[in-house]
Structure 1
Amino acid sequence: MELLRIDQLPVRLRPNIELTSEPSSSFIEANTEAVAFKEMRDHHVIPVFLKDNEPAISHCEFVEAVSQAAQDSFSFSDFPEPRIRVSHPVKGRVYEARHKKAQDLLQHEKTIYFERMAFMITIPGIQDEISGNLLELTVGGVKAFHLDNMNACKGSPEHFKVFIGFKNRVCTNLCVSTDGVKLDMKARSTEDLYLQTMELIAGFNPVSYVRNLATFTAYELEERQFAQIIGRCRLYQFLPKSLRNEIPELLINDTQVSRIAESFYEDQNFSRQNNGAIDLWRFFNLFTGANKQSYIDKFLERGVNGFEFTEQIRRSLDSSHPDFWYLS
């Protein structure tokens, strides 16, 4: 496997690197909608803590803090526009319009913010390729206000999730592992967010992670093995708690398991081969593709779980983990 520029970090964008337009598919779908950063900054209100009316760290401040950390880490001047998805709108109205019917409200009388937000920023020029799929280094985060105690006073740490990983450009599937994700980031200020994001980026080894991903191409599941995994994934949801605690955790839901099974036959990029087998790189992308139907607040956890689950399958096929329940 030939690394393009990953092992030369930090990197400056060079004039000879051609950046093509972003793919049209979304990195997360479910019940989300796209929103521009300017729209969010100029028209979305900022929630406050109930007891002292102090503002929470806004979605825009979160995006800016992570963006600044990434920009400083990779040493380039112009940062790409973040791709932002939001869900769970909280609608309101200005005081003067409190007696109006909803259909009579004017645009300036409406207020809105979104409880949940996820964003992704592609780092220019830092790429690699696996099995013909272009991977681009990506930084981003998730914010869900329902994880914070908004009924208290400002001062308690607010909760964030930040990641650095790779985006598969052919499908915008996000490839992340525990080394590149912080699911329990707590911060009281944007300075905290910036410093913790810098620390996460500094501790991530993109070369090692891409090499781990590339090993998936060397392992195959026969159709009967794939069918057994899918069947046991369905059983997992209904196992007694005592038995489930002894089995590697599976976070995706039954609908997403069905999507993986459907995509095994029909996915344009990652379906089975002519002999019915599927390599683990394709399997992993079926998993991350199904994860795009997760709600924002579960998206990163399930993405990490997809990598760990595929890695456990690889070890089982390699006979270093023979008691893997899904294949035993």
Structure 2
Amino acid sequence: MNLLKQLCQIHAPSGNESGMKDFILDYVDQKKDKWVCQPEVFHGPELQDCVVLKFGSPKTAAFAHMDSIGFTVRYQNQLVAIGGPEVHSGYKLVGQDSLGPIECELEVNKDHQLFYKFGRAIDRGTDLVFKCEFEETDTEITSGYLDNRLGVFNLLKLAETLQNGVLVFSCWEEHGGGSVPMLVKFIYDKWQISQGLISDITWVTDGVYPGEGVVISMRDRNIPRKSYINRIIEIANSSDIPYQLEVEASGSSDGRELQISPYPFDWCFIGAPEENVHSPQEKVNKHDVICMIDLYKVLMENL
């Protein structure tokens, strides 16, 4: 899990994903010679900070967002949330401004306003994230930003054996999305791909349990096409990989932007369930992570 630990420690809140983009490009350049199929790598100004890897003759694209929740420094010692972080006084925040590295403390007042405690003023506009404290046991991983560094990890592991498919690393998902409309046009125009998988992290709930396999989401706030979901479940059933079915009324992902795009794009959210969502102590079961990677391998080959 050393790669996952590295990913969790990269500073990349929504809008500032360039560090994650650079890591992915370096990783691909170092590892691709050992992969089953050599990918074409697409990045640059036309994709902003996003990255697309194309393998063989693709029929399916898997999407993972690179960004995380966090905070933006406002005026005086005020903070503005990026996305929907869990907030409690005492959480450690890290970042860097013109005067150097920052490790400060989050303070939440009785009106739920957010502030930082630090020995000096921090440049306005500086983004801060939870300090990463990665812990691993025989069965579990606890860390900030498993959402969605685990989704990125899944795609990078998938790349080792993928022969046909597109892997898409997107931006801004935690703060309302924004990059997927451009990305879906890019991959549809180039390869006429019209089906996708969302490599992201879901929640442990009253019907989804840690340690019982990867989660196939039948719906969240958005409803994907049932015939596509049924195909995925049929393939999962034939694979003998442990999985759980999720039905929720809230939550969203890059799948929403695929659904509302002007392209005939099917999608399904598939990911490991986690506890302590959007906190510095997000927790996943290793068995669920392994099931996630295994199911993506099967789906990318058979969809």
TM over 0.5: no
- Please say which structure displays the higher CA radius of gyration: 1
Return the structure number with greater relative CO, CA threshold 8 A, min gap 6: 2
Higher helix share: 1
- Normalized against structure 2, the TM-score is what? 0.31
